Structure 1
Amino acid sequence: MTTIYKDGEFVEENWTRADAETRAAIKGDALVPQNLFLEAAEDYLNRDGETAVLVEAGDDVELIRSYLDRLSYVAVDFPSFADGRGFSAARVLREQIGYQGDIRAAGKYILDQVPLARRCGVSSFEISKPEVLKALKAGEWPEVTKYLQPVGAVDEIPVGTRPWARRSFRDIAVAAE
């Protein structure tokens, strides 16, 4: 079982990760690395159980565009907290491809990256680090309210005379209190 954080709630899910040995023979819900999925997409999609794709660092998410409406979700891998390619993949899915489904962060991200991933379009989090789980359960949310890079996944307002500077609408509520 894996703990998932979505919309302020914690749920337990049981997805089996496909690998080169199991391939599409997996029973039940399967999380399939993009490279394996593309080798036999119809086999994965036409078996019993739900299918989701794991986009690993360096994968071109454009390659799964035509399958997105048939996937349960797309997981984006964060292989280390210092690797930002997961943020880029989430933004491409949301802003360029227009994917409206669940984008799930998976891997070795840290708590400080959770609000930034949300800002890039991530809508749920597979929690593998106990310290992240503990902090989220305690209500910690290290929100940054001023940004220097606009994104299309959230509503923001310009700050000052610099068109790239943004602030969160949450910042206004805090200032009003």
Structure 2
Amino acid sequence: MATIYQNGEFVEETWVRADAETEVSADTDLLVPLALFLEDADAFTSRTGKTALLVEPGDEVEKAATYLDQLAYVAVSFPSFADGRGFSTARDLREHLNYQGDIRAVGNYILDQVPLARRCGVSSFEISKPEVLKALKAGEWPEVTKYLQPAFGAIEEIPEGTRPWARRSFRDLAVAAE
């Protein structure tokens, strides 16, 4: 069972992580690594159980582009807080592949990376670190309020002065008004 943080709420979910030796029933919810998924994508997407895709750093998610709308979500792996390739993968899914579904961060990210991942298109987080869970439950959100690149989609922001490439969060306005 995994704790998922999405839209300010916590839910518990159970997914089986598939590998080449995994034998599961057709109605089991599976999280499938990209390489295994591509071996027989039609079989994974035609099951009665839900299928989600796990993308590791260095994987070419573009190879699964025609199947993205048939997936429950796409999990983007952050194997280390120092490995930023997950941010690029999330942004590629949203901006280049026009993926509209749930992008879930999984792995060893830290709390400071949660708002940055949101800016790149991540919409849910599988919490594996107890300190991240504790901080999010306490309402901590370590947002940086000034940025040098625009955010994707639902995040509202405004240009910073006369520099259209510089951005600032609407949260920054509330702080300045206090």
TM-score over 0.5 for the pair: yes
Q: Residue 54 of structure 1 aligns with which residue? A: 54
Equivalence for 1:135: 135
Q: What runs of 5+ residues in structure 2 fail to find an aligned partner?
A: none
2:24 matched to 1:19? no
Structure 1: gaps of 5 or more residues: none
Are residues 1:7 and 2:12 paired? no
Match of 2:177 in 1: 176
Where does 1:17-166 land on structure 2 (aligned, <5 Å)? 17-22=17-22, 28-153=28-153, 154-166=155-167
Contact kept? 1:24, 1:43, Cα under 8 Å: no
Q: Give, in whole Å, the separation in 1 of the partners of 2:26 and 2:16.
A: 7
After TM superposition, the score normalised by the length of structure 2 is: 0.94
1:167, distance to aligned residue in structure 2 (A): 0.4
In 1: Cα distance, 2:132 partner to 2:123 partner: 16
Q: Which has the higher mean CA deviation after the structures are superposed, 69-78 or 27-36?
A: 27-36
The amino acid across from 1:22 in the alignment is T
Deviating beyond 4 angstroms after TM superposition, the runs of 4 or more aligned structure 1 residues are 23-27
CA apart distance, 1:24: 6.8
**Identity over aligned residues, as a percent?**
74
Separation in structure 2 between the aligned mates of residue 152 and residue 61 of structure 1, nearest angstrom: 18
Q: How far apart are the structure 2 equivalents of 1:25 and 1:43? A: 13
- SS of the residue corresponding to residue 165 of structure 2 reads strand
Between the aligned partners of 1:97 and 1:163, the Cα distance in structure 2 is: 26
Residue 126 of structure 1 aligns to a residue whose secondary structure is strand
State the AA in 2 paired with 1:166.
R
Matched letter for residue 52 of structure 1: A
Three-state SS of the structure 1 residue aligned to 2:125 is strand
Q: 1:23 to 1:78 in 2, by over 3 A?
A: farther
CA-to-aligned-CA distance 1:91-127 (integer Å, 9 cap, x gap): 0111121111100000000000000001110000000
CA separation of 1:24 and 1:61: change in aligned 2, threshold 3 A: farther
| C-alpha RMSD of the superposition | 1.5
Structure 1 residue 56, shift from structure 2 partner: 0.6
Higher mean C-alpha displacement, 130-139 vs 146-155: 146-155
Structure 1 length-normalised TM: 0.94
Give 1:25 shift: 5.8
Q: Return the offset for 1:62.
A: 1.2
For these two proteins, the number of residue pairs brought into alignment is 177
Alpha-carbon deviation of 1:61?
Answer: 1.6
